[in-house]
Structure 1
């Protein structure tokens, strides 16, 4: 696997269609993502909110000039454990035709390096219960399945 040619950078407006296409091709996610042009304004509005947030960053993995993966980070601070900031990694996704090439690992290691650079105390993520391959992947990278997550859909 040639991961040396994979680079990670902050996403820009022009990346949104490629990111959305990755999400729309996801058969397990169940988020209702679509490449329908009528939905693009909603995606762009969400991108602008992320872009304007001081605590959120959307990244893309690039290979040969194409978006081949994406992930998002959120920095949160709590009072637990005497206070401290943590990174939450969300929406990790590798383009379907690029899976198994180490791109996901490059993205996660990039996020871990960012967390260390910022002096954060921990990194956490959630993964769809159906994604057993992803669970093995995260375990291989040192993550532990230590908590049980819950969601309540409001819309």
Structure 2
């Protein structure tokens, strides 16, 4: 039986482990200097939370949550911006435990709903989110500003 992870808030000292997970999620090496500035800035924001999953003192997964007031909802809306679990730890309830924590956080912060966007090609992630109670309700369109 898999060991359930310990879920904790991320801190500045977790920068390297979070960086490695986000690079793996995006399948590219991100600029670490820029990443570090964004990460450390976000840690000070009351609207952004990062939760890490530790198994036997190893960080194996993470989820981020950004909460903002949206006029078209007339409410606070929580959004999972990044979620990642290392492949060797998938199907061991790590993602489920992270999801439980981020839902709890969103509710405690007064959010009316929790949203997530996932790349169209990530079918396994979509199945996970649907098992966790998410429904497909929107289409996301992106305009890359560096292409102008």
Structure 1: state its 5+ residue gaps. none
What's the counterpart of residue 77 of structure 1? 69
Aligned with residue 91 of structure 1, among 38, 62, 82: 82
What's the counterpart of residue 142 of structure 1? 133
- Structure 1: distance between partners of 2:118 and 2:127: 11
Corresponding position: 1:33 with 2:24: no
What's the counterpart of residue 40 of structure 2? 48
What's the counterpart of residue 11 of structure 2? 12
Corresponding position: 1:151 with 2:142: yes
Corresponding residue pairs, total: 146
Aligned with residue 115 of structure 1, among 84, 106, 113: 106
For residues 78 and 24 of structure 1, do their structure 2 counterparts lie closer, same or farther at Cα, with a shift above 3 Å needed? Answer: closer
Aligned with residue 95 of structure 2, among 104, 122, 132: 104
- Structure 2: distance between partners of 1:9 and 1:51: 13
Post-superposition shift, 1:3?
Answer: 4.8
Q: Give the ranges of 4+ consecutive aligned residues of structure 1 lying more than 3 Å apart after TM superposition.
A: none
Structure 2: state its 5+ residue gaps. none
Post-superposition shift, 1:142?
Answer: 0.7
Are the counterparts in 2 of residues 22 and 96 from structure 1 also a CA contact under 8 Å? no
Are the counterparts in 2 of residues 59 and 71 from structure 1 also a CA contact under 8 Å? yes
- Structure 2: distance between partners of 1:120 and 1:22: 26
Are the counterparts in 1 of residues 77 and 113 from structure 2 also a CA contact under 8 Å? yes
After TM superposition, the score normalised by the length of structure 1 is 0.85
**Tell me, what secondary structure is at the counterpart of 1:152?**
coil
For residues 142 and 3 of structure 1, do their structure 2 counterparts lie closer, same or farther at Cα, with a shift above 3 Å needed? Answer: farther
- Provide Cα deviations, 1:13-32, integer angstroms capped at 9, x if missing partner: 22121122223334xx35x3
- Aligned Cα RMSD in Å? 1.7
